[in-house]
Amino acid sequence: MLQRMDRVDRQYILPEGELTDAGRNIWNEFSKEKKQAFYRWMVQVRSFDRRLVTLQRQGRSGTYAPMEGQEAAQVGCALALSKEDWIFPSYRELGIFMVAGMPLKQIILYWMGRVEGNVAPDGVRVLPPYVPIATQMPQAMGAAWAAKLKGERSVSVACFGDGATSEGDFHESLNFAGVFQLPVIFFCQNNHYAISVPFTRQSAVPTVAERASSYQIRGIRVDGNDVLAVYSAMEEAVVQARQGGGATLIEAVTYRLGNHTTADDATRYRDQLEEKEWISYRDPVVRLEMLLKSEGLLTEAEIQDWEEHCRDVVEQAVKEAESAAGLPPEHMFDHVYEELPSDLRRQREELSGKGKKHA
């Protein structure tokens, strides 16, 4: 796996926390505040992700899809977008939700099974998480087509994992986007495993990005644990889309350090040595931390202060979510059918005490 990671088109921050020559040229254009913002967002995302895993283990929320290890990919992607752009996420996009402006309380409510967790505040153009694999891709493509027909500047972004590239929706969306030159970005976080199936068993070609050429759109493969590489690729793709240059497929090569979900046991199909290599050598938060410390932009005291701040923010969100008013049991019938079938209508009435119960 590590050898395949080296086959990327773009890597600016090396695992040792050092910049390449090309990376330094881009990095030096950023303000101190922007450099620190990359780090602060990534630490905040990791802190929240770990807390959500704990909540599930304590029986305080439902099944959760951890994303630790993918912070650079998600923060780099989201920070390159503007408020006018539309985001079509999968269920593992915690970092993208946060940067896009989704309140932490709402995110927690979603994982608690509350429908309110799907409702984004005004001005936050992020759709609810798509659980069926790749179904967000045709919708992102459709939104981009609508924007082009209406003459709008918005760009649509479909976020998905490597498993989605085995679905027909992936190919249909890229083909349509290529034919009509749509302002859409297909952002793949290749974390090497679609649940328990390694990418090598899904694809005869070694990369996702090279598939873009089949649809006459741009494809680029970046180090997904390098926030600068991801941000740069996304920024270029956004500019291209806004200027009428069509779609881009970005493959961010990364690794999920945890299980597929809290209902999964990755030790049954992953080599623990492989996991240790990614944790010790390619951790996206650690490499950025080393870079900032080497430039005098981050101290140990500041790291501890920010981590404490992140924990406080997360705990406040947990309190708010858990103190939200409860919903009546009948609520389970409200969001599936426009008009309830007779059997479900009868069950709803029985539950509410308005109908005759049957033995």
Which residues are tagged catalytic? 256, 260, 269
What are the start-end ranges of the H helices in the chain? 2-5, 21-27, 32-57, 71-79, 94-100, 104-111, 136-150, 168-180, 227-242, 272-281, 284-294, 300-322, 342-352
Residue 2's identity, in one-letter code, is L
- Ramachandran area for residue 88 (φ above 0: left; ψ -120 to 50: alpha; else beta): beta
**Structure token digits, residue 184:** 């859409």
The two structure tokens encoding residue 42: 């990534």
* Pair 73, 189: CB distance under 8 Å: yes
- Nearest CA-CA partner of 48 in 115, 93, 17: 93
